[in-house]
Amino acid sequence: MTTTTAQDSATWQIDAAHSSADFAVRHMMISKVKGTFRVTDGKIATPAGSFIPTSIEATIDAASVNTREAERDNHLRSGDFLDVEHFPTMAFRSTRITANDNSTFVLAGELTIHGVTKPVELEAEFEGEGTDPWGKARVAYSAHTKINRKDFGLGWNQVLETGGVLVGEQIEISLAVEGVR
């Protein structure tokens, strides 16, 4: 059985079965709707002596959007929002990682949604490492940020009779990612 330590440099494959990208957005200006996407692929590189990554890239299946409401999910997949027929994936690629301490860091990179790529920064944290029952080394990370959906061409909305709009512009994003060596 091998055990990975912070002394080993490594490339970690993102484990899709144990990773997700969650989001929350205002609905009718009064509540938040939450949903999730499947992280389907990606990798994390760590240097010798640290679990703070040197690079991260990830791919997300846009059609996997799940808000627990089929009609809303189908609308999110449509041309009004994600247009998954033309843009089946979303992607992130790190451009700079700045450690705050031994477990937290700022993750700067390029986020692509709906065919539009914009710079983003996420507050991130190393959650831990261990060896699974099959002898494979694993690491886990979490991260969060906020984006404006209109920056990515997701402009559909509906004005409410009472004022305000149906869908908020600000999207809260939270990631939970597990990597396997």
pLDDT at 157: 65
User: pLDDT digits over 81-110, tens only?
Assistant: 899 999 999 999 999 999 999 899 999 999
User: pLDDT digits over 132-153, tens only?
Assistant: 999 999 999 999 999 998 999 8
**Per-residue pLDDT tens listing for the chain (181 residues):** 334 445 578 899 999 999 999 999 877 777 798 999 999 999 999 998 889 999 999 999 999 999 999 998 999 999 888 999 999 999 999 999 999 998 999 999 999 999 999 999 999 999 999 999 999 999 999 999 999 989 998 776 667 677 775 677 878 999 999 999 9
Round to whole Å and give the CA distance between 10 and 17.
20
Domains defined for the chain, CATH in brackets: 10-180 (2.40.128.110)
pLDDT at 131: 94
Joined tokens for residue 42: 């990606």
pLDDT at 1: 35
* Residues facing 106 on adjacent strands: 98, 123
pLDDT at 31: 76
pLDDT at 3: 40
pTM here is 0.88
Give every CB contact of residue 133 below 8 A, 6+ residues apart in sequence.
none
Q: Report whether 173 contacts 23 (CB < 8 A).
A: yes
For residue 44, count CB atoms less than 10 angstroms from its CB and return exposed for 0-12, middle for 13-18, buried for 19 or more: buried
pLDDT at 4: 44
Round to whole Å and give the CA distance between 126 and 105.
8
Round to whole Å and give the CA distance between 36 and 21.
6
